[in-house]
Amino acid sequence: MRMVDDEAGWIARAGGGDATAFRHLVEAHSSALFRVCARITGDKAIAEDAVQEAFFNAYRHLRDFDGRAAFSTWLHRIGVNAALEQLRRRGRLDSELPASDQDSDAFAEIAEAAPGPERHARSAEIRRDIETELARMSALERSAFVLRHHEGQSLEDISQALSLNTGACKQAIFRAVRKLRAVLEPVG
């Protein structure tokens, strides 16, 4: 409960212009926000720009935060929008993105679980196939999938972050999962 109390205080003080309090919010949420942006954009440099833009926008609009949703949900919504905007600016929204080189990716951990050169070669191939399919998905599908399956967010939080109703959110996740299953089907 202490972190939540601290966070509420940081939010209140930052809303009043306290830069140190806002720095605490940035430190508390920057890693998670970067992970989301990196998975949506597929590019670390673009993700860094998106995170910077998200925190700038959050700071400018902190007085608009009404507490109906968790601060992290509100910030994720800003981050997702910033990531999508970065892709739009670069003309890469819904086009094929380069494969991510994130070694900490959950798919990489699964794919690399068993040793052996043949297994490693096949795992690398599966990972490339998955990353290619994620890159081909619409930004909405990719964002919903990342928030649900990488970040473990609830449907309600994802719906708020993406400005969707719950049914549309479920549909976006379902379409993303179906596309990934089609890629993985030959493996099984």
Q: Which residues contact 56 (CB under 8 A, 6 or more apart)?
A: none
| pLDDT tens digits along 15-72 | 888 889 999 999 999 999 999 898 888 889 999 999 999 999 999 888 888 888 889 8
Q: Which CATH number fits domain 2-184: 3.40.50.800, 1.20.1740.10, 1.10.1040.10, 1.10.1740.10?
A: 1.10.1740.10
| pLDDT tens digits along 115-168 | 456 665 766 777 788 788 888 889 889 889 888 888 888 888 888 888 889 999
- Separation CA 140–CA 8 (nearest Å): 30
